[in-house]
Chain A
């Protein structure tokens, strides 16, 4: 007999399998962006070394963020299409629905990350990082996915309609562009530059890049991890309170 959470997880997996276009889209868009920046635009940037080595960490973070709109949409559909009321009047754990959404979303993200990493490797991305550096990089990616997913679940719960829920993750997709994902923050105009330096994605991407080039930085990693834990916590608390309020 499965628990409510695993039953719900099975439901979310089925949803994902029934909607392969969303998964495909979540993989395709970051790959197109990666190739565009590496082969079309990236040549104009004055960045030492291979540009694909610089851009890949940022693209991985972008992959996480881009996949989230599907999560917001599916959380919101549950809330607005009435099925949530059926779950709520049953004798099952309240958090099962949300945990299942988070788990399914993270699974989609891991698949997309693996696909984008594979393509990056195929197009010349090389990482001199050690095995432990890679483990650290994977750990950080999972942590980022976990934190941003909880924030997305909260946003999806708060949105009034599925249409607005689909749009609500646009800032999350835009933020990596305004970080050091594509070019170093020092090259940006004043104002944007300060924003880029202090927003959470810059330390996260810098840490990831450090790990992948085999030069991990402990202090940056601490800042990145703190951001992730903070975002996850806010997302979790916000999700639960919104979930309770919406009948």
Chain B
């Protein structure tokens, strides 16, 4: 019956749509080697649409190679990659039409002005003249480049070049944007501006794939982080999940005298002495108000005076240091 067939087709399209909206980028078994040096050794990724995914790793971990393979700049040796619902190997043109890429080094034309750089990309994207003029003006405005729009890009500062670079990436409204270390070499102020821009993009529904070596950046921006080391994903999860994997959330107590310290050590049986400071005890704690209050009450009832007190929760630095450099320990969130 033709009617049934129609229903099935619609259902099929709906299912397809659900699939497309759920994942912006998927990769499985991704491998890439240069001659005999394996750079990516079987990587699996899944980036939901409209989220920020951060690939974190030390220098030389393979972050840029991963971006190059995902953005069609390089072909993978093995594995399947789908970006915006298209297979990177077989449907390269469709992938290119859907993505925007901002690499590690500002890809701007030094001999063109800021406006001309944006216009160049608008022309290459075949936008209508009236439309492109509007888009170029809007982007210059949005990135605070209107005043320097007529100046050659070679006269721009590092931060301005990065902004122009990202603005060029945004011409034509890509749905997925790859940012390879977008804030490396930027001053703290420009870095914050860049973060703001990235957050705004995600609010508009764009998916961001971000590589960075700044843990703070991943912590602040990313919905999900994957730690890449030695060509493998050694951990994956939300920033909170990753931090939870690292034991070491504790309360640091500093006492005035050895006597106090000894007494405290007898009461708090699971506390350990600090290696660096012999007047300090480290008591395991999840950092919640209740557990801290209980701990302090315990000390109080024994009339122990604490000279200095701090709650230490592991940050991504701890996670990073614990996870990288030891490629054999695989932790999953």
Write the residues of chain A forming the contact surface with B, with a CB cutoff of 8 angstroms. 1-2, 4, 7-8, 10-11, 14-15, 18-19, 81-92, 247
Determine whether the beta carbon of B124 is less than 8 Å from that of A7: yes
Determine whether the beta carbon of A83 is less than 8 Å from that of B107: yes
- Which residues of the partner chain A approach B125 to less than 8 Å between Cβ atoms? 90
Number of residues in B with C-beta < 8 Å to the partner?
30
- Which residues of the partner chain B approach A4 to less than 8 Å between Cβ atoms? 124
Bound Cα distance from A101 to B50, whole angstroms: 39
B135: shortest Cβ distance to chain A, in Å? 15
Determine whether the beta carbon of B111 is less than 8 Å from that of A14: yes
Give per-residue flags for B88-116: 1 if the beta carbon is below 8 A from chain A beta carbons, else 0.
Answer: 00000100110101010111111110001
Is B78 an interface residue when CB atoms closer than 8 A count as contact? Answer: no
- Which residues of the partner chain A approach B126 to less than 8 Å between Cβ atoms? 1
Bound Cα distance from A181 to B321, whole angstroms: 68
Chain A contact residues: helix, strand, loop or mixed: helix
Chain B residue at smallest Cβ distance from A14: B112
Determine whether the beta carbon of A14 is less than 8 Å from that of B101: no
Determine whether the beta carbon of A247 is less than 8 Å from that of B124: no
Is B54 an interface residue when CB atoms closer than 8 A count as contact? Answer: no
Given A11-B112, A82-B105, output 13 extra A-B contacts at Cβ < 8 Å. A14-B111, A18-B111, A82-B103, A82-B107, A84-B107, A85-B107, A86-B101, A86-B168, A89-B73, A89-B96, A90-B124, A91-B97, A247-B68
Determine whether the beta carbon of A15 is less than 8 Å from that of B111: yes
- Which residues of the partner chain B approach A1 to less than 8 Å between Cβ atoms? 126, 128
Is B74 an interface residue when CB atoms closer than 8 A count as contact? Answer: yes
B36: shortest Cβ distance to chain A, in Å? 18
Determine whether the beta carbon of B73 is less than 8 Å from that of A81: no
Give per-residue flags for B166-193: 1 if the beta carbon is below 8 A from chain A beta carbons, else 0.
Answer: 0011000000000000000000000000
A-B contact pairs, 27 of them (CB 8 A): A2-B123, A4-B124, A7-B120, A11-B109, A11-B120, A14-B116, A18-B152, A82-B103, A82-B107, A83-B107, A83-B108, A83-B109, A85-B101, A85-B103, A86-B103, A88-B72, A88-B73, A89-B71, A89-B73, A89-B96, A89-B99, A89-B101, A90-B96, A90-B121, A90-B124, A92-B124, A247-B68
- Which residues of the partner chain B approach A8 to less than 8 Å between Cβ atoms? 124
A42: shortest Cβ distance to chain B, in Å? 39
- Which residues of the partner chain A approach B116 to less than 8 Å between Cβ atoms? 14
B220: shortest Cβ distance to chain A, in Å? 27
Bound Cα distance from A89 to B67, whole angstroms: 11
A41: shortest Cβ distance to chain B, in Å? 38
Determine whether the beta carbon of B106 is less than 8 Å from that of A82: yes
- Which residues of the partner chain B approach A87 to less than 8 Å between Cβ atoms? 124
Chain A residue at smallest Cβ distance from B72: A89
Bound Cα distance from A1 to B112, whole angstroms: 20
- Which residues of the partner chain B approach A2 to less than 8 Å between Cβ atoms? 123
- Which residues of the partner chain B approach A19 to less than 8 Å between Cβ atoms? 111
Chain B residue at smallest Cβ distance from A19: B111
- Which residues of the partner chain A approach B71 to less than 8 Å between Cβ atoms? 89
Chain A residue at smallest Cβ distance from B68: A247
Determine whether the beta carbon of A81 is less than 8 Å from that of B93: no
Bound Cα distance from A19 to B105, whole angstroms: 24
A247: shortest Cβ distance to chain B, in Å? 5
A84: shortest Cβ distance to chain B, in Å? 8
Q: Which of B93, B107, B111 contacts A86 (CB 8 A)?
A: B107
- Which residues of the partner chain B approach A81 to less than 8 Å between Cβ atoms? 105, 107, 110
Bound Cα distance from A10 to B72, whole angstroms: 26
- Which residues of the partner chain B approach A85 to less than 8 Å between Cβ atoms? 73, 101, 103, 107
Determine whether the beta carbon of A7 is less than 8 Å from that of B99: no
Bound Cα distance from A2 to B96, whole angstroms: 19
- Which residues of the partner chain B approach A91 to less than 8 Å between Cβ atoms? 93, 96-97
